[in-house]
Structure 1
Amino acid sequence: MEDKKLAIFNNAKELFSIKGFKDTNVSNITKEVGIAVGTFYNYYSSKEKLFMEIFLEENVKLKKSIMDSIDLNDDPLKLLKKLIALNITGMNSNPILRQWYNKDVFGKLEQQYREEKGIDKVDFMYGSFVELFKQWQTEGKIRDDLDIELIMAFFTAIINMDTHKEEIGVEHFPHIMEYMAEFVMNGLTVSRK
């Protein structure tokens, strides 16, 4: 039974990578695995849920590879800029993660996933990143009077700007990302009075 679920997962991942979410349907996935369409639903309640599981797994892999490639002793501002750049590059280079930029598709997928799971939000930035920011708080590199969830929300907002670069202005976008990271870090490192 687990073999079929893994086969469905792996085949769907390959098809989503090649064809994208919209152009992949359940019958494409099941045909390659050699099962009936109805059997698919014994393992996954929907194509959307399967895609989100694949997306979240790919996102975790990206965040881990980013954390493995950085020097945690770097200056926080320099490190933050590197984290943002590596995240954007990783999202753009992975065909599954690149679906994040398809606002028509991804917003609906995320909403449906949250409703199915009964959760308010899906945290795409947590894990190793939150541990890094907690470490910085402990070391006095950033303010410790702010809740870690609020701090993470600042960084999530910066990353989410990437999905709005056309509205912001593509010609200004790289500079805006850099300055926003700098402004946030300056605010987080300002001494409290």
Structure 2
Amino acid sequence: MDVKSNIFKCGKDLFSTKGFKKTNIKQIAEKANIGVGTFYNYYTSKEQLFIEIYTQENEKLKSRLIESIDLTQEPVKLIKLLLMENFKEIHANPILKEWYNQDFYKELEQYYRNENGKNIDAIRSLYVDLLKNWKSQGKIREDIDEELLPVFFDSLICIDTHKDEVGIQHFPQVINYLVEFIIQGLTNHHK
């Protein structure tokens, strides 16, 4: 195993057991049998290492969700199922659960705001593709411009980045309802 892969693996082990806040670079270096200076040859900070680990875990989760769920279901039911499964998986994974950790999610959000974060978000592209498909099948209201469809999803991301203001204890329920309301509103043919 090369040094960078070893640092990644040891960091992932420590972050999974101790959490982001209680893990430091010295511990990662010791577990990887390297010096702290060697760590810095590969990563500029523990945040950079964690974000790389988090991103990999997040992509694995999104791929599993896409493969395991029947995407032909009725829109409201499908979106609620995707959200529920996503939430369950996040809370079962100590790395992904850091998204709800006030000490760290600001760092993650900053990362996801830049172009790299947007390009790798498989769940966003899944939702956008589903909405466009539904629009072409007549399941989405005619009066809603197709260019607006990704904006609805992006607005949820904006709310997600303010979860501390919403109240982190209420956030999962609030986002679940908002998604349901948006999908029902988009698919409601009564004006």
TM-score category (smaller protein)? 0.7 to 0.9
- Match for 1:138: what amino acid? S
Structure 2: gaps (5+ residues): none
Contact 2:29 2:35 in 1 (8 A): yes
Between stretches 124-133 and 91-100, larger displacement belongs to 124-133
Contact 2:47 2:107 in 1 (8 A): no
What residue in structure 1 maps to residue 152 of structure 2?
151
Matched, 1:3 2:2: yes
Structure 1: distance between partners of 2:84 and 2:64: 13
Q: CA deviation at 1:71?
A: 0.7
Contact 2:65 2:85 in 1 (8 A): yes
Q: Percent identity?
A: 41
What residue in structure 1 maps to residue 136 of structure 2?
138
Structure 2: distance between partners of 1:165 and 1:89: 23
- Match for 1:57: what amino acid? Q
TM-score w.r.t. length of structure 1: 0.80
Cα-to-partner distance string for 1:146-175 (whole Å, 9 max, x where unaligned): 4243032244367x39955983875x974x
Structure 1: distance between partners of 2:115 and 2:59: 19
Structure 2: distance between partners of 1:101 and 1:163: 8
Root-mean-square deviation (Å): 3.1
Structure 1: distance between partners of 2:90 and 2:66: 15
Contact 1:141 1:189 in 2 (8 A): yes
Between stretches 128-137 and 89-98, larger displacement belongs to 128-137
Q: Stretches of 4+ moved more than 4 A in 1? A: 161-166
What residue in structure 2 maps to residue 54 of structure 1?
53
Matched, 1:38 2:33: no
TM-score w.r.t. length of structure 2: 0.80
Q: Does the C-alpha gap of structure 1 residues 106 and 155 become closer, same or farther in structure 2, counting only changes over 3 Å?
A: closer
Contact 1:63 1:128 in 2 (8 A): no
Please show how residues 21-100 of structure 1 align to structure 2 within 5 Å: 21-100=20-99
Structure 2: distance between partners of 1:21 and 1:80: 30
What residue in structure 2 maps to residue 126 of structure 1?
124
What residue in structure 1 maps to residue 187 of structure 2?
189
Structure 2: distance between partners of 1:99 and 1:134: 31
- Match for 2:72: what amino acid? N
Contact 1:15 1:24 in 2 (8 A): yes
Structure 1: gaps (5+ residues): none
Q: How many residues align?
A: 185
Structure 1: distance between partners of 2:176 and 2:53: 30
Structure 2: distance between partners of 1:168 and 1:57: 24
Structure 1: distance between partners of 2:47 and 2:27: 14
